[in-house]
Every structure is written in structure tokens, then in C-alpha cells.
Structure 1
Amino acid sequence: MSTNPISAVAPTRVIVVESDACHFCDDAHRVLEELAVRYPLAIDTVSVRTAAGQELMSSHRAALSPLVLLDGTFFSHGRLPRRKLTKVLHARYGDPARRTAEGALSHG
């Protein structure tokens, strides 16, 4: 029985505070879904229309949607910087291809 090496690591909690009809928000979700295949991410979405969303936007002084938090810490607002996010995740978890190969070797 094989174990997914990604599931053995604590995921990065990503909170996306989004607004309606926001193309940057749509783009952020697309990028996060792609990265979630390679890195352990727990993604939550909060509407800017909710009290929680308004509080997060205010407390992090985000002028644009989406506001993106990693483990509760401000990461970005507006267009999601994909390369920067990939670098952060790579620093936390290492090379996903190598992790998969090591997992296959140790569990295969």
C-alpha cells in the first residue's frame, strides 16, 4: 500500500479573501489549484462581503482583492505573485518531483 508523500507533511493553510467578478481572484484560485497538486495546501476562501472578510482586509490593509494569507500571515493582495509563492513553497517543502520519487522509493 502506497502513501502519498505530500499527505505526510503539514499543509500550508492558504486563506483567499475574494470579491465578486474579480479576475485576479479567479487567477489566484487557478494558480493555487495547480500548486496544490505539487505542494500540501489547505485552501479556504472567504468573501470580502462577510464580516470575517472585511476584518481580514482591514487588518492586513489590503487595497485589492484577493488578499492571500499563508498560515495567517500576509502574503499578497491583488494579482498573486506565482513565482514568489512557488519559491516560498519550495523553501518549505523542497522539490516536489524529488519528494515524489523518494516517496515512491521508500513506499514502492
Structure 2
Amino acid sequence: MKWNLYAAKCPTRQLLDRISDKWVVLVLSLLEDGPKRFSVLKREIDGISQKMLSQTLRALEQDGLLTRRAFPTVPVTVEYELTTLGRSLNTAMAPVVEWATTNMSRVLKARDTFRKKPD
């Protein structure tokens, strides 16, 4: 089937919305090096709430981008790991993440110039 992301009801729009979310990019990037526990992800991603991290992880699991594994400990230990599909998305996103970090100074300069423009 050929998907048309310009069609209002095409599911690719939902997927693009999901993968363009900043929390998704950060979670997937952290999982690139291997499985991580919820508490580690929460600690590493400055500014993310527990609720938002839970929602993001659940959505990524639903889309087949990561797996959730619970260990029978007290309290239960939960670990998240990228799937093959998740790794392929990380490979595709890596140049965008690199572009953002490489060009941030230029973007900040452009924003500053824009703010100083007379109306």
C-alpha cells in the first residue's frame, strides 16, 4: 500500500507527529547505547515529567519502536530497549539531531536578528 501523508486521514501523519516529538527523540537517542531503566531515563532527560515519560514510552512500545521488560523484584524493575524498527528510526534521525546541535548557534543568531528587525 502506498501512503499519502498529505491526505488528512493518512496514518503517516500520526506517525510523523509521534516521531517529531522532542521527548521521543531524546528517549530513542538515550536507548541507542542499550537498555535502560525508567529511573535512568527520567534522570538523564532533564525537564521530563514522570507522566510524560510514561506516556512517551507507552506510545513507543505501541508503535513497535521499543520493548518493555519487567523484572520480578520489589519494587518491580522495568527496562526499555530499542527494537530493530526503533534502531532504524534512530539511524534516520541521527543526522537531524547532529544538524540541530551543529547549527544551534546560527539559529540563535537568526532569532536574535529577527527580534531586532523593525516592524
Into which bin does the TM-score normalised by the smaller protein fall?
0.3 to 0.5
More strand by share: 1
Q: Give the structure with higher Rg (CA).
A: 2
Higher relative contact order (CA 8 A, sep 6+): 1
With the length of structure 2 as denominator, give the TM-score of the two structures. Answer: 0.33
More helix by share: 2
